[in-house]
C-alpha cells in the first residue's frame, strides 16, 4: 500500500509542476507597449515564392506577399498614409491637401501643389502633366507605398494589369510614358514604420528617387541585400512594347546577404511599434539656411518620454488619430487623444491645465496649439518667410546639386480661424505657377521641365523685387514677359499665370479688367492660385514657454505680431511689392478694436494700485463722515 502511495504521489508531481509554471506565466505582465517583436519568417517575392540563400536569380522581396501572409494587406492598404493621392484635397471644410508635396522651380520661384492641375488626366493622348509614375518617383521617398504608388485610378494594380491580357488604352494617363513594367510598383512598405534599427529610409528614398528601382527599395532599406543596376538607365522612348525588345542596360539584380538566413531558411526581422524618428523622416520640417529644425525648442512630450504613437494611435485600419478635434475623428477614442482630452482629465498622468488668470473665453475661442505649438510670433510685424528642405535625399546631395535645389517657401506662423471657428496656427504656402487653358477651359499646370528653357532665356530680366533675397517673377512686367516666352515655346497655346488668387494673361477684352500700368496684361479673380494653409501641431512648448505666459501684452499690445503682423496675400502691386493684411482679419477680429483694447494694457500696471488707492481714499472719506455723523448724533442726544 505504501509503495502504491509513493507511485501515486510521483504521478502528481509533473501535473503540479505544469500547473505552477502556468500560474507563473499568467502572473507575468504582458509585453510593454512598443516592445520589439522578432519575426522569424520566410521572405517571399512578388509571386509568393519563398526566397532562400539557395534561390537562383532571386527577385526583390514583396511586403505584400511576406507580411500579407498573416496581416490583412487590403485593410492596411486603405489607411490614411497609404491612401494619400496627390490630386485629391481633403473633404470640405478642410482647406488643405493631406500632404504638402510641393513642385518647385528655382529660377522663376514657382511653387505649387500637384492638385492644382499638375497630375496627368486619365485620358491623356498628348502625354502631358505629371503621371502617377513620375509622382511615385519624385515623391515616393516620403510615401509608405500603396494607394497611387500601387494602383491606378481604376483600382487595378499597375504591374498586374500590364501583365494581364487586358488591353490598356494608349491614351491612359496612368500608363502613358511610364515605366511600371520595369520599375514595378511601390507596395505598402510595412517596415518603413515598423522596422528596427537596421532599416534605413534614406536608402529606400535613394532607390526610388535616384534609381527608379521601386520594387527593389524595401529590400535595400531593410538591409536584406544589395541591388545592382538601375531602371533610371533604361529608356523606354515612347513605346512600352518596343522597349522590352531593345538591347540596353540590364534590369536591377538582387544579391542577398547569405548571413541573414537562418538554418531553416527563415529570416529574423526586427518589428516594433513605430519610433518617433520614423515619423519625423516624413513629417519633420527643416529650415534650409541655416540647416536646422523650424522650432528651436524640443517638444515637451518627447522630453517627457512620449512617442508620436502615444497620441496618434490606430488599429489594423491604420488611420492614426490626428491629435486634435477634426472632422471624421469626433468619436472615442480619438476625441480623448487630444490636448483637451488629456489635459482636462489627467489621462495617462498628464498635468491638468489650470490656466490661472486666463479669461475663460480664451479657451473657447483659441485652440491649445495656437499658444503652445510652432514658432512663436517674434521679430517684428512681418511674418517670416522660410525656405525648407523638402527632399529626404538632402544629406546625400553634393554642394552643386544643393545650389540648384529650391525648396518650398512658407509663411509662418499664421493665426486664423479653423473650420470650428477657433484660432489655430498654420504654415502658409503662396502658390505661383503657369498653366495652359484647355479646350474645356480647365487649367493644366505647367511642370518645371516645360517652363525651364523659356524662363532661362529671360532669366536676366527676373529680379528680387520684393526684397526677400530670392529672384522671382513678381512684377507685372516680368509676368507678361514669362507668359509670352512660355507661350512661344508651346506653339501658341494659351498660357496664364496664377498667383495670390488672381489669374494673369495677355490682354484680351473678354479676359478681365486690364492690370494698371501694364496695358498688355489682363487680370481676373481665380480660386486656383489662392494661398494654402497647413495646420501646425509641433513642437509643443511647455506652459512656461507658451504664448502669453509672460504676460497679457505678448498678444495684447499695439505691436503684437499675434494680431498686427502683416500677412502676405501675394496679390502683387504693379511694382512687385506684396500686398498684406493684418493677422487680426484672419482671426475674425476687428483690427481697430484690438488696437484700442491693446492701448488699455498700457495703463494696467497702474490700474490695480490706482483702484486700491481710490478705494482706500473713498473708504477714508466714508469713514470720516461716518465718524463725524456718529459724533453729531451723540451730541444731539446729550451723550
> How does pLDDT run across 276-323, given as a tens digit for each residue?
888 888 887 777 665 555 554 578 888 888 888 888 888 888 888 887
Torsion of CA 364, 370, 373, 376, to 10 degrees: -140
Q: Are 468 and 499 in contact (CB under 8 A)?
A: no
Q: What is the dihedral of CA 231, 235, 240, 244, to 10 degrees?
A: -70
Element (H, E) at 283: helix 276-283
Measured distance CA(206)–CA(132) in Å, rounded:
18
Identify the bridge partners of residue 27 per DSSP, sorted by sequence position: none
Q: Give the pLDDT of residue 440.
A: 80
Residue-level pLDDT at 186:
95
pLDDT of residue 167: 87
Predicted local confidence at residue 90, as pLDDT: 45
Cis peptide before 138 (omega within 30 of 0): no
Q: How far is CA 154 from CA 175, 177, 253, 542, in A?
A: 12, 18, 31, 48
* Cα–Cα separations (whole angstroms), residue 446 to 124, 171, 238, 303: 15, 19, 20, 45
CB-CB neighbours of 233 under 10 Å: 12
Question: Rounded to an integer, what distance in angstroms lies between the CA atom of residue 478 and that of residue 306?
Answer: 50
249 to each of 58, 235, 243, how far by Cα in Å? 19, 9, 11
pLDDT reported for residue 94: 43
Contacts of 317 (CB under 8 A, 6+ apart): 75, 78, 79
pLDDT at 35: 53
Q: Compute the half-sphere exposure of residue 40: CA atoms within 13 Å on the CB side of its CA.
A: 6
Please state, in angstroms and rounded to a whole number, the distance separating the CA atoms of residues 185 and 160: 10
Phi-psi region of 262 (alpha: psi -120 to 50; beta: other; left: phi over 0): beta
Q: Which of 315, 320, 333, 316 is nearest to 279 (CA)?
A: 320
The secondary structure of 197-260 as a DSSP string is TT--HHHHHIIIIIT--TTTHHHHHHTSEEEES-GGG---TT-HHHHHHS--SPPPEEEE-GGG
Rounded to a whole number, what is the distance in angstroms from the first to the last CA of the chain? Answer: 117
Query: Cell digits for 215?
Result: 520594387
Q: So what's the pLDDT on residue 625?
A: 83
Listed residue (85, 276, 277, 83) closest to 188, CA to CA: 83
Q: All 3 cell numbers of residue 189?
A: 512598405
Say which residues have a Cβ less than 8 Å from residue 569's Cβ, sequence separation at least 6: 500, 501, 531, 578, 579, 580, 581
Q: What's the pLDDT score for residue 242?
A: 40
Note whether 89 and 433 are within 8 A (CB).
Answer: no
Q: pTM of this prediction?
A: 0.81
Query: How far is the C-alpha of 181 from the C-alpha of 240, rounded, in Å?
Result: 8
What pLDDT, on a 0 to 100 scale, did the predictor assign at position 24? Answer: 39
Chain position carrying cell 500590364: 162
The whole-angstrom separation of Cα 394 and Cα 510 is 46
pLDDT along the chain (639 residues), means of 10: 49 51 42 60 91 90 92 90 72 52 87 89 83 90 91 90 86 88 93 90 92 95 93 73 57 92 90 86 75 62 87 86 66 73 85 86 89 82 76 64 77 88 90 88 90 88 74 84 90 88 78 56 85 87 88 87 87 74 90 86 76 88 82 62
Amino acid at each position: 500500500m505504501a509503495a502504491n502511495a509513493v507511485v501515486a504521489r510521483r504521478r502528481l508531481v509533473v501535473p503540479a509542476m505544469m500547473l505552477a509554471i502556468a500560474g507563473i506565466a499568467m502572473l507575468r505582465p504582458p509585453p510593454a507597449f512598443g516592445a520589439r517583436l522578432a519575426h522569424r519568417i520566410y521572405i517571399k517575392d512578388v509571386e509568393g515564392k519563398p526566397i532562400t540563400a539557395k534561390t537562383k536569380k532571386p527577385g526583390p522581396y514583396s511586403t505584400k506577399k511576406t507580411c500579407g501572409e498573416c496581416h490583412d494587406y487590403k485593410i492596411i492598404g486603405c489607411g490614411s498614409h497609404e491612401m494619400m493621392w496627390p490630386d485629391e484635397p481633403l473633404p470640405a471644410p478642410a482647406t488643405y491637401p493631406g500632404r504638402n508635396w510641393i513642385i518647385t522651380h528655382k529660377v522663376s520661384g514657382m511653387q505649387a501643389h500637384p492638385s492644382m492641375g499638375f497630375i496627368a488626366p486619365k485620358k491623356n493622348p498628348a502625354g502631358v502633366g505629371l503621371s502617377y509614375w513620375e509622382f511615385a518617383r519624385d515623391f515616393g521617398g516620403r510615401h509608405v507605398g500603396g494607394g497611387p504608388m500601387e494602383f491606378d485610378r481604376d483600382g487595378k494594380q499597375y504591374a498586374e494589369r500590364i501583365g494581364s491580357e487586358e488591353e490598356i488604352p494608349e491614351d491612359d494617363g496612368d500608363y502613358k510614358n511610364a515605366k511600371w513594367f520595369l520599375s514595378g510598383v511601390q507596395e505598402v512598405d510595412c517596415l518603413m514604420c515598423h522596422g528596427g534599427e537596421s532599416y534605413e529610409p534614406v536608402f529606400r528614398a535613394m532607390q526610388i528617387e535616384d534609381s527608379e528601382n521601386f520594387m527593389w527599395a524595401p529590400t535595400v532599406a531593410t538591409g536584406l541585400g544589395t541591388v545592382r543596376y538601375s531602371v533610371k538607365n533604361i529608356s523606354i522612348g515612347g513605346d512600352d512594347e518596343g522597349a522590352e525588345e531593345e538591347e540596353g542596360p540590364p534590369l536591377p539584380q538582387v544579391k542577398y546577404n547569405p548571413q541573414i538566413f537562418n538554418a531553416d531558411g527563415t529570416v529574423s526581422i526586427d518589428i516594433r511599434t513605430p519610433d518617433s524618428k520614423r515619423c519625423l523622416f516624413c513629417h519633420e520640417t527643416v529650415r534650409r539656411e541655416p540647416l536646422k529644425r523650424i522650432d528651436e525648442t524640443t517638444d515637451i512630450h518627447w522630453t517627457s518620454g512620449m512617442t508620436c504613437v502615444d497620441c496618434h494611435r490606430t488599429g489594423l485600419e491604420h488611420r492614426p488619430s490626428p491629435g486634435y478635434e477634426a472632422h471624421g475623428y469626433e468619436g472615442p477614442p480619438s476625441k480623448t487623444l487630444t490636448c483637451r482630452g488629456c489635459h482636462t482629465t489627467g489621462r495617462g498622468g498628464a498635468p491638468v491645465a489650470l490656466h490661472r488668470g486666463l479669461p475663460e473665453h480664451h479657451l473657447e475661442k483659441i485652440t491649445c496649439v495656437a499658444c503652445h505649438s510652432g514658432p512663436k510670433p517674434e521679430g517684428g510685424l512681418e511674418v517670416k518667410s522660410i525656405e525648407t528642405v523638402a527632399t529626404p535625399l538632402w544629406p546625400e546631395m553634393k554642394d552643386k546639386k544643393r545650389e540648384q535645389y529650391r525648396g518650398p517657401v512658407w509663411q509662418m506662423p499664421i493665426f486664423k480661424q479653423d473650420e470650428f471657428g477657433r484660432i489655430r496656427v498654420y504654415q502658409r504656402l503662396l502658390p505661383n505657377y503657369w498653366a495652359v487653358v484647355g479646350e474645356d477651359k480647365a487649367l493644366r499646370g505647367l511642370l518645371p521641365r516645360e517652363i525651364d528653357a523659356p524662363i532661362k532665356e529671360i532669366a536676366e530680366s527676373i529680379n528680387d523685387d520684393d526684397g526677400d533675397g530670392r529672384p522671382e517673377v513678381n512684377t507685372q512686367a516680368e509676368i507678361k514677359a514669362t507668359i509670352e516666352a512660355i507661350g512661344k515655346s508651346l506653339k501658341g497655346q494659351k498660357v496664364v499665370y496664377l498667383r495670390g488668387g488672381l489669374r494673369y494673361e495677355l490682354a484680351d477684352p473678354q479676359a478681365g479688367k486690364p492690370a494698371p500700368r501694364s496695358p498688355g496684361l489682363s487680370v481676373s479673380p481665380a480660386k486656383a492660385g489662392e494661398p494654402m494653409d497647413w495646420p501646425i501641431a509641433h513642437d509643443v512648448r511647455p506652459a512656461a514657454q507658451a504664448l502669453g505666459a509672460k504676460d497679457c501684452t505678448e498678444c495684447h499690445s499695439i505691436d503684437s505680431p499675434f494680431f498686427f503682423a502683416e500677412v502676405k496675400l501675394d496679390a502683387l502691386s504693379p511694382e512687385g511689392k506684396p500686398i498684406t493684411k493684418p493677422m487680426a482679419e484672419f482671426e475674425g477680429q476687428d483690427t481697430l478694436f484690438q488696437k484700442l483694447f491693446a492701448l488699455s494694457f498700457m495703463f494696467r500696471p497702474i490700474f490695480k494700485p490706482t483702484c486700491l488707492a481710490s478705494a482706500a481714499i473713498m473708504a477714508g472719506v466714508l469713514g470720516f463722515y461716518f465718524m463725524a455723523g456718529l459724533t453729531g448724533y451723540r451730541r444731539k442726544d446729550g451723550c
